[in-house]
Structure formats: structure tokens, C-alpha cells
């Protein structure tokens, strides 16, 4: 699987006012989540959660089978000097912690089944390695994962983002594995290729070297959050009545911000009165 995610990572960075190292961290996680979600069925949803002791505090991303993804970090202003390779030190802002993956199905249509959850400790906090380690340990799939975000100092500063995930099928022979390893090592950086206009299939061609492959599917990807004013109203209508009255009398309204997309919803006094009288629909 391969993905070019420049626009959606730029949107995430803009929505959350991310500092550069955090933009790299969240961008890599959004891309990895989409790649992992590419095999989902129509009503499935996949959540990746990193809980760690670094400045960033944690990363949460969620993707569905339609190529839609959303996500946020605890601390958008985490920062670290460049690492010894002259790159954003994502591992330093992430720190040590755990990597969780949750598969859910049917949630949005009320056909809720028990979620499946897997977890592994973080390997390096560099994200791609952490996805690969999760796949190996929790799903027993040896994989190569590359995730990259390239930033420019000016706005819009996400100039390229994308990645790829190669999973070994059971019974893949040694020669195939070493061919892929060789071509992956020789491959130009994915973000450089994306800046030159590469599409996902071009990334796969470079990664797979001499191996022939067939493209099974292609779909658009986007940053998408299903939150809305109506959902906020219905959430507030379930709050305890005394608290609603205090919102109305003391705060003269309510303000709610969605973690996932940082959209702020303001409900004025009239809207709150409407909700309390039970006729907000
Ligand atoms: Zn939202």
C-alpha cells in the first residue's frame, strides 16, 4: 500500500497550529493509519493511539474504509532540536510509551460489535518503525513501513507527505524478500519523489524494484471529521439539567471544541434554551 497525503497533513497542521516536529509526528501517524486502514471493510473504523512520556504527550488518529482520516496530538507545540541526521527528532518529542490499534465495526449504524485492540511498546517513537513493530508482534505480519513529511519554513509549510507499507504474505520466498529489501534501501526518499509529482503507484514501483505488481485499487484520501453543530447540540442535550442551567445563567452559552479537528462550536443563550425545552431538533 502507498499513499500521498500532502494536502490532508497540511490541513491537519493548519487546523491544529502544529509546530514542525509535531507536524512530522502527526503527519506520519495519519499516513500510517490510512495505510493500515486500506484493507478495512465499509463499516470498519481503525484508531491508532500513541500514549507516551515525551513532550507531545500522545497522538490519536482514526481512519475509515473511505480514505477519511482525522487526528490530534496532546501538545501541538512540542519541540526538539534536529537529530544527528539533520531531521526532525520525532522520536524525541514522542518519547517512550505504548502504541495501540483498535478495530471497530458498525459503530455509526448501531451494529456495534466488540472492538479488537492490539498494543505494543513503542520501539523508537519515529512512527514508521512503530507501525512495523506493531504489525510484526500483534498481527504476525513482517512489514516494511516508510512514512515521511517534508516541511518548508513558509506557509503552506507541508510540501510533501506520504508513505508506503509492504507486508510479506505467508510463504514469501527469501529471494522476494531480499529483492524488496535491496530496492527499498536504494529507493529515493518518498517525500523527494512526491515533491517531484510521484503518485502512490510510483512509490510502489520504486519500492518493489524488479518485482511486477498489479494495482488493485486506488481511492482519494482526505482529512475528514464528522463533528457538526447538530452533534454538539445532541451531546449537550444529554448533559445533566443543573449543569445546563448553570451554562445558561453563569456562562450565558456554551463553547465546545472538537479534539479531532479543532473546530469550535458556540451555542448562545437562545440555543441552550431551545435544547432545555427539548425542541432542539
Ligand atoms: Zn471534529
User: How far, in Å, is the centroid of ligand 1 from the Cα of 264?
Assistant: 9
User: How far, in Å, is the centroid of ligand 1 from the Cα of 22?
Assistant: 19
Assess whether pLDDT exceeds 70 at residue 206: yes
Assess whether pLDDT exceeds 50 at residue 167: yes
CA distance 123 to 163: 19
pLDDT at 115: 87
User: How far, in Å, is the centroid of ligand 1 from the Cα of 159?
Assistant: 24
The CATH fold assigned to 2-223 is: Hsp33 domain (3.55.30)
CA distance 94 to 106: 32
- Residue boundaries of the structural domains of the chain: 2-223, 229-276
Grid coordinates representing 34 are: 490510512
pLDDT at 277: 83
- Span 240-268, mean pLDDT? 91
pLDDT at 177: 87
Q: Is 177 helix (H, G, I), strand (E, B) or coil?
A: helix
The CATH fold assigned to 229-276 is: CBS domain Like (3.90.1280)
- DSSP strand pairing (97-105 vs 68-73): unpaired
- Span 89-93, mean pLDDT? 97
User: How far, in Å, is the centroid of ligand 1 from the Cα of 166?
Assistant: 31
The structure's pTM equals 0.93
User: How far, in Å, is the centroid of ligand 1 from the Cα of 257?
Assistant: 8
Assess whether pLDDT exceeds 60 at residue 280: no
- When the pLDDT of each residue in the chain is averaged and rounded to a whole number, the result is 92
pLDDT at 225: 97
Dump pLDDT digits (tens) for 94-134. Answer: 999 999 999 998 766 676 678 889 999 999 999 999 999 99
- Span 203-230, mean pLDDT? 94
Closest alpha carbon to 13 in 177, 95, 5: 5
**Residue 185's CB: how many other CB atoms inside 10 A?**
8
Per DSSP, 242 falls in state H
Contacts of residue 161, defined as CB under 8 A and 6 or more positions apart, other chains included, come to: 4, 5, 6, 8, 9, 10, 27, 31, 148, 149, 150, 191, 194
User: How far, in Å, is the centroid of ligand 1 from the Cα of 231?
Assistant: 10
User: How far, in Å, is the centroid of ligand 1 from the Cα of 173?
Assistant: 45
- Span 250-272, mean pLDDT? 92
- Residues 152 and 159 sit within 8 Å (Cβ to Cβ): yes
Dump pLDDT digits (tens) for 126-155. Answer: 999 999 999 999 999 999 999 999 999 766
User: How far, in Å, is the centroid of ligand 1 from the Cα of 224?
Assistant: 8
User: How far, in Å, is the centroid of ligand 1 from the Cα of 14?
Assistant: 14
- Span 44-51, mean pLDDT? 96
Assess whether pLDDT exceeds 80 at residue 279: no
Residue listed under C-alpha cell 518548508: 152
Amino acid at each position: 500500500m502507498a499513499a500521498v497525503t500532502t494536502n490532508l497533513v497540511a490541513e491537519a497542521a493548519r487546523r491544529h497550529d502544529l509546530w514542525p516536529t509535531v507536524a512530522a509526528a502527526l503527519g506520519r501517524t495519519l499516513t500510517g493509519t490510512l495505510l493500515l486502514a486500506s484493507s478495512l471493510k465499509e463499516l470498519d473504523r481503525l484508531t491508532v493511539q500513541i500514549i507516551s512520556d515525551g513532550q507531545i504527550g500522545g497522538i490519536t488518529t482514526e481512519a475509515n474504509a473511505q480514505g477519511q482520516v482525522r487526528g490530534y496530538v496532546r501538545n501541538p507545540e512540542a519541540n526538539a532540536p534536529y537529530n544527528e541526521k539533520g531531521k526532525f527528532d520525532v522520536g524525541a518529542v514522542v518519547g517512550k510509551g505504548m502504541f495501540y490499534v483498535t478495530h471497530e465495526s458498525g459503530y455509526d449504524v448501531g451494529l456495534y460489535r466488540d472492538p479488537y485492540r492490539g498494543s505494543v511498546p513503542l520501539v523508537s517513537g519515529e512512527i514508521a518503525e512503530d507501525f512495523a513493530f506493531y504489525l510484526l508482534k500483534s498481527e504476525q505480519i513482517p512489514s516494511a513501513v516508510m512514512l515521511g513529511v517534508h516541511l518548508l519554513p513558509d506557509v503552506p509549510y507541508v510540501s510533501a507527505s506520504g508513505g508506503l507499507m509492504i507486508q510479506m504474505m505467508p510463504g514469501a520466498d527469501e529471494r522476494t524478500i531480499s529483492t524488496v529489501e535491496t530496492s527499498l534501501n536504494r529507493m529515493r526518499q518518498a517525500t523527494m519523489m512526491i515533491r517531484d509529482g510521484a503518485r502512490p503507484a510510483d512509490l510502489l514501483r520504486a519500492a518493489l524494484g524488479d518485482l511486477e505488481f498489479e494495482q488493485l485499487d486506488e481511492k482519494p484520501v482526505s482529512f475528514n471529521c464528522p463533528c457538526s453543530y447538530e452533534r454538539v447540540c445532541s451531546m449537550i442535550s444529554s448533559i445533566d439539567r443543573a449543569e445546563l442551567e448553570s451554562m445558561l445563567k453563569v456562562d450565558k452559552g456554551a463553547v465546545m471544541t472538537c479534539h479531532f479537528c479543532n473546530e469550535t462550536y458556540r451555542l448562545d443563550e437562545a440555543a441552550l434554551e431551545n435544547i432545555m425545552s427539548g425542541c432542539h431538533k
